[in-house]
Amino acid sequence: METTQRAGEPGAAERRRRELLEAADRVVLRDGPKASMNAIAAEAGITKPILYRHFGDKAGLYQALAVRHTDALLDSLRAALDAPAERRRRVEATLDTYLAAIEARPQVYRFLMHPAEDSHSAERGFDVGLHSAPLLRRLGEELAEVIGERVDLGPGGDRLARIWGHGIVGMMHAAGDWWLGERPCDRAALVTGLTDLLWGRLATAGNRHDGPGF
C-alpha cells in the first residue's frame, strides 16, 4: 500500500542528502582539509559519481557542509546573545561559544577555513580559501543584524552595526585561528582579552527601545 508523505517530513532525497553530509562530516573529522571525495564516497558506501550527482563537485559539497555548520553555530551564538545575563557576560558567552565550537571540532574548522596542502586542494578547481570568505561575511551580517536590533547606536547606527558585526567576526576568526594553532593561553584568558578589547563603547551604549535589548 502506498503511503503519503506528511507535511514537514523530509523526503527520500532530503534524507539521503543528510546521510551523505553526515558521512562527509565523519571523514572531515578524521582527515580535516585533506578529506577527499573518494574517501567521503567510500564512507557513504557509494561511488564518487553518485556523490557528484548529489553535490556537483567538492565545492558543492563544501558549500552544503558550510551551511550545515554555520547554521548550527549561528543558533548557538544567538542563544548566547539572548541569555538572561548582564551585557558583558553575554559578550563573553558569545565569544566563548565561537571558540568552543572551533576547539571541539578543529578538523571541521580547518576544512572550512584552510585549503589542504596537497593535491586534493586543486581537485576539480576547488580552493577552500575562495569559499571561506562568504561564510565569514554571512556571520558578519548576521551579527550586525543582532547588534542593530539590540543596541542603540544613534545616528548612522545601522552602518555602525555592520562595521561592528564584520569587525567582531574578523577579530574572532583571526584570534581563534592563531589560538587554535599555537594555544598560547587557555580559552577563558582569550575570551577575557577579546572582551576587554570590545568593551569600550559597547559598555556605555543604550538598549534600543523598539527591540529586544542587549
Domains of the chain, by residue range, sit at 58-203
Q: Which residues contact 63 (CB under 8 A, 6 or more apart)?
A: 131
User: Grid coordinates in use for 45?
Assistant: 558506501
Give the model's confidence band at 115: pLDDT under 50 very low, under 70 low, under 90 confident, else very high.
low
| Phi, psi torsion values for 3, nearest 5 degrees | -100, 150
- Give strand pairing partners of 151: 207
Mean pLDDT, residues 112-140: 63
Q: Is the pLDDT of residue 208 over 70?
A: no
The pLDDT assigned to 100 comes to: 96
Q: Is the pLDDT of residue 124 over 80?
A: no
Among the four given CATH numbers 3.65.10.10, 3.30.750.210, 1.10.357.10, 1.20.1740.10, the one describing domain 58-203: 1.10.357.10
Q: Is the pLDDT of residue 118 over 50?
A: no
Q: Which residues contact 164 (CB under 8 A, 6 or more apart)?
A: 143, 144, 147, 202
Q: Is the pLDDT of residue 127 over 60?
A: no
The pLDDT assigned to 211 comes to: 56
Gap between the terminal Cα atoms of the chain:
55
Give the model's confidence band at 52: pLDDT under 50 very low, under 70 low, under 90 confident, else very high.
confident
